Structure 1
């Protein structure tokens, strides 16, 4: 007798709450399901269910065994899907969450290209800056920026992210150009969600507290304030590069610019979901196209 015999019936009874319901799900007779579970209990020498005329519920041992069986079943399901879908086009529902501004500018256009190429792919996207629990909320991919903190997830680095400190030529003409981190104390620093800015020197990350008379939790609002000449800002490359190229903003403190490998644009994937074709293809498309953006050929990108 196989050690695996009866596991599928056991899981079905635990999930449906009854032998008849489990039998209907599996397309078997209730007597067969009951017999398989009984044989499983005999092999394990323990009772897995409390049975009554009205109710079937797991014992303490049954509950512990059920959790392990679910993990095994998920693993089998993923193994079968990975083989069956190996040569298939991406299809089905793909749920993605991304930070708002970066998602609107760079992620959505690439996802739209994929959906146009693969009409069987159905996409749901959430664009906001709220941290999400991918496993609990059922997301397939999260696009995150900066340094990673959640080590439970599979992480694929899609592109670099460089932080720029900058101000308008007019502001610098009126207030001078900072040449050291200490000089920032004499400048009106435009604050976002944090009172500290990140820098890099001699291969180490540095955190510098800054202050000013202006604060907003929107990067676009910080950018607008900087373009108005109100103060000095620190923002990621995708906000400021066009304005640096046009001369509307001037990059400051280049020797302290943060561009380490630990910071970047990441695709985060719940464990096991990276096996599905739709996730593999989407992540690879994003990695190829984002890394090919022309500004990443400029000095300072890592």
Structure 2
């Protein structure tokens, strides 16, 4: 099958318009249209429904678009690996992690990465859904559990725990609980147990809720929980890696915390030689080492 026709088909399917695809490919609309007609004749099927507002893929067109999308990802990966053979670190790196870790720990440290590699472009994808790294939905993942997908290089970064935190102002106004049972006299801020989160955090919240908590604020990510805590709304269930960047937070009921949660960095085996991936991996590992040292110094102070 003619790769050039497939490339043009993919651009049209992605843009939903012959004109927009032509602009992207630097081809005239008539040239694009001829290539699409030629491909449809070759396959003996219609790939698009044509109407005044644009083009919509037929069922057969959807099947072919899925195939060309996968092919395009593979070509992009190969291109990136070839370009990574250069000495300089540049180009796009797609990083996926959870909303909380991405906004509260990773993003504030990114200036150091850009300072060292100004030509690197990071696409930070924050969501709880686990993206498929072998299918190149992302290049690198930082997750709160060991990845189960095959053909991945894995590196355990650190262990974290979910703990209870509040501001000094809230505790001064509402008192400091001495026992877990005292939590019923306070407002609890946490993720809803039905929302996507690590099992250890969910189990901790379920344990706390057994104590007849009367006032509750639930948010679907830890960034929202932190905002509630910082605005003196109550006692929040938050990951302990926040303590370093928010030193005014006070841990409440230190004996009430979750089980350890491992944090893993992973990337596809095919990106083992990628200089972009290596640069990002080394940056994260250096930041983890700095984080651990500061935590030890705080504990020993």
TM-score class normalised by the smaller sequence: 0.5 to 0.7
Q: 1: CA distance between counterparts of 2:164 and 2:66? A: 51
Checking the alignment, whether the CA contact within 8 Å between 2:94 and 2:122 is kept in structure 1 is yes
Q: Give deviations 1:91-131, integer Å, cap 9, x for gaps.
A: 245577877886676434532122122222345779xx886
The alignment's TM-score, normalised by the length of structure 1, stands at 0.54
Alpha-carbon deviation of 1:143? Answer: 6.5
Mark the runs of 5 or more structure 1 residues left unpaired by the alignment.
none
Q: Give deviations 1:52-78, integer Å, cap 9, x for gaps.
A: xx9999765454234213312321231
Structure 1 pair 125/84, CA: closer, same or farther in 2 (3 Å)? closer
Partner of 1:192: 189
Q: 1: CA distance between counterparts of 2:58 and 2:235? A: 64
- Quick check: 1:8 aligned with 2:4? yes
Counting matched residue pairs gives: 258
Structure 1 pair 271/134, CA: closer, same or farther in 2 (3 Å)? farther
Checking the alignment, whether the CA contact within 8 Å between 2:189 and 2:235 is kept in structure 1 is no
Checking the alignment, whether the CA contact within 8 Å between 1:96 and 1:141 is kept in structure 2 is yes
Alignment counterpart, residue 222 of structure 1, candidates 205, 217, 229: 229
Q: 1: CA distance between counterparts of 2:63 and 2:246? A: 59
Partner of 1:82: 81
The alignment's TM-score, normalised by the length of structure 2, stands at 0.55
Pairing 1:95-106 to 2, within 5 Å after superposition: 106=105
Q: Give deviations 1:178-230, integer Å, cap 9, x for gaps.
A: 2xx5x346x4233114477x997xxx94522051557585425425649xxxx
CA RMSD for the aligned pairs?
Answer: 5.8
- Quick check: 1:237 aligned with 2:240? yes
Q: 2: CA distance between counterparts of 1:118 and 1:69? A: 32
Partner of 2:253: 252
Alpha-carbon deviation of 1:6? Answer: 0.8
Alpha-carbon deviation of 1:282? Answer: 2.0
User: What's the secondary structure of 2:163's corresponding residue?
Assistant: strand
Q: 1: CA distance between counterparts of 2:73 and 2:236? A: 48
Q: 2: CA distance between counterparts of 1:95 and 1:272? A: 15
User: What's the secondary structure of 1:74's corresponding residue?
Assistant: helix
Q: 1: CA distance between counterparts of 2:9 and 2:236? A: 60
Q: 2: CA distance between counterparts of 1:112 and 1:234? A: 28
Q: 2: CA distance between counterparts of 1:62 and 1:35? A: 11
Q: 1: CA distance between counterparts of 2:188 and 2:147? A: 23
Partner of 2:115: 116
Q: 2: CA distance between counterparts of 1:115 and 1:175? A: 42
Checking the alignment, whether the CA contact within 8 Å between 2:161 and 2:259 is kept in structure 1 is yes
Greater shift, 57-66 or 116-125, is seen at 57-66
Checking the alignment, whether the CA contact within 8 Å between 1:220 and 1:239 is kept in structure 2 is no
Structure 1 pair 64/96, CA: closer, same or farther in 2 (3 Å)? closer
Checking the alignment, whether the CA contact within 8 Å between 1:163 and 1:237 is kept in structure 2 is yes
Q: Give deviations 1:248-285, integer Å, cap 9, x for gaps.
A: 9465352x5313235x4x66889999986434422431
Partner of 2:221: none
Alpha-carbon deviation of 1:159? Answer: 3.3
